[in-house]
Amino acid sequence: MASYGVTFMQDAFRDAKANGFNVTVIRKGELVFNVDQTLEEVEEQITEIGSKMYHDKIMKERGVDVRSLMRGLVRADKAARR
């Protein structure tokens, strides 16, 4: 039964992406519900989780590996001296 749920979720994910939708996967335990919460508050929590994921993705793409950058500078400096 568990494999059916996984297959269904994977199919839904693929269909949404194929139709041009952005998909944010919220893992079990990331979203905490309280009985007295309004739907607007839950929607706000989901939006915050999605925004954080988007922000983290952008920062990762913009990140620079300082070690590889320094290796390139050191190699260029040695080549200039010869």
pLDDT digits (tens, 9 = 90+) for 21-65: 877 778 888 888 888 999 999 989 888 888 888 788 888 887 777
Is 40:17 a contact under the CB 8 Å cutoff?
Answer: no
Q: How many domains does the chain have?
A: 1
Position with higher pLDDT, 71 vs 19: 19
**pLDDT score, position 40:** 93
Q: Is the pTM of this model over 0.75?
A: no
d(CA 50, CA 25): 8
**Domain containing 24: what range?**
2-81
**pLDDT score, position 10:** 85
Structure tokens at 42: 């839950």
Confidence class of residue 8 from pLDDT cuts 50, 70 and 90?
A: confident
